[in-house]
Amino acid sequence: MKLLKDKIALVTGGTRNVGKGIALALGEAGATVYVTGRSIKEKDVKHITDAGGKGIAIVCNHENDDEVRAVFELIEKNEGRLDILVNNAWGGYNRLRNRKAYSGFKWKAPFWKQSIDLWEEMNNVGVRSNYVASVHATQLMLKRQQGLIVNISFYASRKYYGNVIYGVAKAAVDKMTMDMSVELKKE
């Protein structure tokens, strides 16, 4: 039996790595899984459907609040609800993935030698987009008094990992998750 049959899930930034694995696991458990990505295509979610769930691709840049809102409006229109949100979108690796454009970038450079723009890259999508998506998801979930929000973090939130901004972003995700849970328990 599929444990998540008839459940509706959204995995933000689910086109590769951890997000892709989570989306696949949800599909294997029978869920309908909406997956966002900046350049996602239906072929990118085929493995979810092949695994026994239903994969649905939605193009979304999580730096754009209007695009994020549109994702939740589409899910509400198509499904009438959302059961699971996995906030996995992250924008902090642009400099690592595009070394040609950022030839002087060093992950482990001291914070005072890092570009100030790195703060925006890691916190805008890594933290802020989790907050924005959680606001929209909660509004859907509270209508049914049920749901699960998962925010992906990393142990850099608790231990130095070679980049101050990265650690701060991950710690912010942890604190945001904890505080959201306190407020949601009251509902």
Q: DSSP assignment, residue 62?
A: T
Q: Convert the pLDDT of each residue in 24-43 to its tens digit.
A: 999 999 999 999 999 999 99
DSSP bridge partners of 36: 58
Q: Does domain 8-185 have CATH number 3.40.50.720?
A: yes
Q: Convert the pLDDT of each residue in 98-139 to its tens digit.
A: 888 888 889 999 999 999 999 998 999 889 999 999 999 999
Record the pTM: 0.94
Give kind and range of the element (H or E) at residue 9. Answer: strand 8-11
Instruction: Give the three-class secondary structure for 55.
Output: strand
Has 166 been annotated as catalytic? yes
Q: What is the pLDDT at residue 103?
A: 85
Distant-in-sequence, close-in-space partners of 68: CB < 8 Å, separation ≥ 6: 60, 62, 129, 132, 133, 136
- pLDDT-above-90 percentage for the chain: 85
Q: What is the pLDDT at residue 1?
A: 59
The residue ranges of every structural domain in the chain are: 8-185
Q: Which of 102, 131, 155, 166 is catalytic?
A: 166
Q: Convert the pLDDT of each residue in 40-92 to its tens digit.
A: 999 999 999 999 999 999 999 999 999 999 999 999 999 999 999 999 998 87
